[in-house]
Amino acid sequence: MTKTGIGFDFHKLEKGNGFKLGGVFIPSEYKTIAHSDGDVVLHALTDAIFGLCGSSGDIGDHFPASDPKYKDIDSTYFATEALKELQTKGYRLTSIDVVIVLQRPNLSVWKKEIKENLRRLLNLTSDDVGVKAKTTEETGVIGRQEGVCAFVVATGETSDIYKR
């Protein structure tokens, strides 16, 4: 049985030295405002995985921003924990597709590294990881460099031996 999950995340930007996307540090004159490391790709991925396996909660339920334990944490932790729940439920992640929406910097030079990092983290082949970058053509919150967001679709499968 094939299943799909979707995740979205947005963080505001403020003056800084850079921020992480998909676990890769992107130098910038901005940084994300967040309790954790503010990686919108890994946050959207975490929710996509939770959605895929019908988790009882989203990233905010599992890892409350009010919990000091998650202050400045590497968001790889969230995705790894979501993967554990996925596996416990008898699912296997088979592919992900990512869209990052950011005005600057141009991510064309970073997309390969982000893809490779996600591929390694999720133990997928490079054909099973899509990473795309878009801008909003200088308009709106993202166009004014006030924020960055990401969408992730995760696909997985389960064996009927494990389910029902």
Which of 3, 77 has the CB closer to Mg ion?
A: 77
Shortest spacing between CB 70 and Mg ion, in angstroms? 11
- Written as six digits, the tokens of 107 are 């991510």
DSSP string for 16-64 = SSEEEETTEEEE-SEEE--SS---HHHHHHHHHHHHHTT-SS-HHHHS-
Torsion of CA 19, 20, 24, 27, to 10 degrees: -10
Q: Which residue, 40 or 91, is less far from Mg ion as judged by CB?
A: 40
Instruction: Report residue 137: phi and psi, to 5°.
Output: 50, 50
Binding site for Mg ion (CB under 5 A): 9, 43
Q: Which is nearer to Mg ion, 9 or 85 (CB)?
A: 9
CB of 10 to Mg ion, least distance (A): 7
Q: What is the DSSP string of 125-152?
A: -GGGEEEEEE--TT-HHHHTTSEEEEEE
Q: Which is nearer to Mg ion, 10 or 145 (CB)?
A: 10
Nearest distance in Å: CB 58, Mg ion? 10
Residues 6+ apart with CB under 8 A from 89: 53, 54, 158, 162
Cβ 160 to Mg ion, closest distance in Å? Answer: 34
Q: How far is the CB of 22 from Mg ion (least distance, A)?
A: 13
For Mg ion, the closer of residues 19 and 91 by Cβ is 19
Task: Output the residue with the shortest Cβ distance to Mg ion.
Answer: 43
